[in-house]
Structure formats: C-alpha cells, structure tokens
Amino acid sequence: MQSRILIVYTGGTIGMIEDPVTRSLRPFDFSHLMDNVPKVKMLDYKIDNIQFAPPIDSSDMNPAHWQDIARHIADNYKRYDGFVVLHGTDTMAYTASALSFMLGGLAKPVIITGSQLPIGEVRTDGEENLITALQIAAATDSDGKPMVREVAILFENYLWRGDRSTKRSADNFNAFKSNNYPALAKIGLGIHFEQDVLARPDTDTPLTLRTNLDTAVMAIDLFPGLNETTLRHMLATPGIKGAVIRTYGAGNGPTADWFVRALRQAVDSGIVLVNVTQCVNGSVHSNRYVAGDILSATGVISGHDITFEAAITKLMFLFGLGLSPQEVKEAFARPLAGEMTVK
C-alpha cells in the first residue's frame, strides 16, 4: 500500500530564498520548496502538506508554534503513516524535545529535518535531507509496523533521537549530534536502522496529546566569576518555577557559602533546580566530587545525561501539567521519552 506522509513546513533555511535587495535569506512558501525537489515525485508516496503562515526562521519559534505542530500531528495521526517536519536548524533540537514530551504514546515516525543551504542552491543539502526524511517516515519493519516510532532529527548522514540532539555546527552539513545516545540510523548508500537503539513503543497505544507548557523557567549558566548579586537576581525573577543550572564537568559548582545558600533558599521557596552539565558529552554524577555533593545536598536534582534543550522543555512540560514542585522533581527523575539515562 502507498505510504501516506504529512509534511508540516514551518520554515527555516531549507525553504528560504535570497531577498534581492538585502541579500539576506528569508522564508518562502511550500510550493517554492517542492518545485525545487522534483525527485520527490519519484517516491511513490501520497504526500500532503500543512504550512505555517507565514513560514518562520526557527529563531522565532516559541511554545505556541510547538503546540501548533503537535496539534497538526495529533489531528492527522490516524490518517498518515508518518510525519515530516521541515524546520530551521537553530531551534530544531528544542522543538524535537518539546514534541517528544507533548506526543505521549507516539508510535509513528515524526522526522524533523531542514538544511544548511537553501533548497534552491546548487549544492543544497536540503534535497537529500527532505527525500531521506520522507523515506524514513515511510519505512516499516518486518511486521509492517513503523520502523521509527518516536520524534527524530534527520540530518545528512544520521538519524538522531530528537530529545537527545543538539545543534553542533553552524557550517557543517552534519549539523546535529546526540552526544549521549547512539544514532538511530546511519545514512550512506542505504539507510541502516539501528534496531536495538530505536524506541519500541506498543503501536496499539493511543496518542495522548498534552500541549500545555509553562514558560516560567530559566537557565543559569555557571562561570568562574558569577557573583552573588547576579545569581540572587536571577533566582528572584518574578514567577519563576524552575531553572536548569548548567554546571561544570560531572555536575559541579562553587562550594562558596553564598552560592550554596542562594540555591538552598531558592529550593526552599519551591523553585525546582535541575543540574545539567556544560560538557557536551557525559553525565552528572552528583557525588563524584564534594563540589557536586554540595549541590545535591541543597536539593538541586540531577539531570543525569539530559541535553539542555530537553531539560528546559521537560520543565515547561511538567509545570504545564499543573504539577507541584515536589511532583515535578519526582517526574523529572524518570525518563519520559528516552531523553536521559538514569543509572
């Protein structure tokens, strides 16, 4: 049977054209994009599309857009075998993470892709990315069930779990990487799926759409020289409910009294603080060093090997469910969509 794929085109470089006056790139509509990829017609799929009006540079993405994308997928979930989301690379990993939490019980492919060069350019990576994303969205296993049953990012040679991914290059065609989880598929002459690392949810589970997100969250990036005034100012942000603290190495922070006191007071006042390492690879090990031990003793919870993108969107999602700070802490500690490894 012919595979049915729904493309949700949000914008990004893949569909951009050069403004004749300013020479900068601006998003363009879907017909422009498809006109530049005649090869799509060679795929024997039934492809429909939904387009953002207007398409956007992903630097303008916000939770309302994530809700739109998630609703389009949920509304059409039964009608299609797979979904391809065309998206700018800048915030793609945030969108992938948010969608992975919002689409509970997902058991069909949601493949997000884009490109570094606009699709109209001679050396574009967009054509290949689009075609490969469509093929992955249509791929089935030996039982005829979807090969990919999760939100994933396809870029150049790899398919990565969406909520494990990070944009790692502004120039390279292989722009994404999941630093703490293996590739779900490698793309060369063929598409080689890594069966043992793909999520295997039950295909009979119905999709549960939960779109409410609470943006009362923030990031605190540690650096030598961060002072008490700045830290207290950040933690006193009106209405703030949760913060991701980007710590050193295995989850370490300063041992100074003022630092520990400021965090403890924040935790005691009900702010959920999550420890995520600044290292691109590896995990928080809260009790490897005194400097990490002290952090966890203040009530900061471990983000294990989660990415920043997944941590911040997971906080938005959990607070969006209306959970209390204690409930958020408990729920955060468990993987929701394969976003972290808890040892």
Q: Which is nearer to ligand ASP, 94 or 193 (CB)?
A: 94
Binding window for ligand ASP (CB under 6 A); candidates: 7-15, 78-86, 207-215, 326-334: 7-15
Are 85 and 137 a contacting pair, CB within 8 Å?
no
Size of the site for ligand ASP (CB under 6 A): 11
Stretch in the footprint of ligand ASP (CB under 6 A) among 53-61, 100-108, 123-131, 198-206: 53-61
C-alpha–C-alpha distance, residues 259 and 254, integer Å: 7
Neighbours of 342 (CB within 10 A): 11
Verify binding: residue 97, ligand ASP, rule CB under 6 A. Answer: no
Cβ–Cβ under 8 Å, residues 237 and 218: yes
Residues in region 57-96 near ligand ASP by CB under 6 A: 57-59, 88-90
| CB of residue 34 to ligand ASP, shortest distance in Å | 17
For ligand ASP, the closer CB: 59 or 142: 59
Which residue from 5, 7, 8, 13 is in contact with ligand ASP, where contact means CB under 6 A? Answer: 13
Among all residues, which ones are annotated catalytic? 13
Cα-trace Rg, the chain: 21
Residue nearest to ligand ASP (CB): 88
Q: 112-171: which residues touch ligand ASP (CB under 6 A)? A: 114, 116
Looking up tokens 């949760």, which residue turns up? 242
Nearest alpha carbon to residue 145 among 99, 187, 201, 207: 201
Stretch that binds ligand ASP, among 28-36, 54-62, 70-78, 201-209 (CB under 6 A): 54-62
Q: Which residues bind ligand ASP (CB under 6 A)?
A: 11-13, 57-59, 88-90, 114, 116
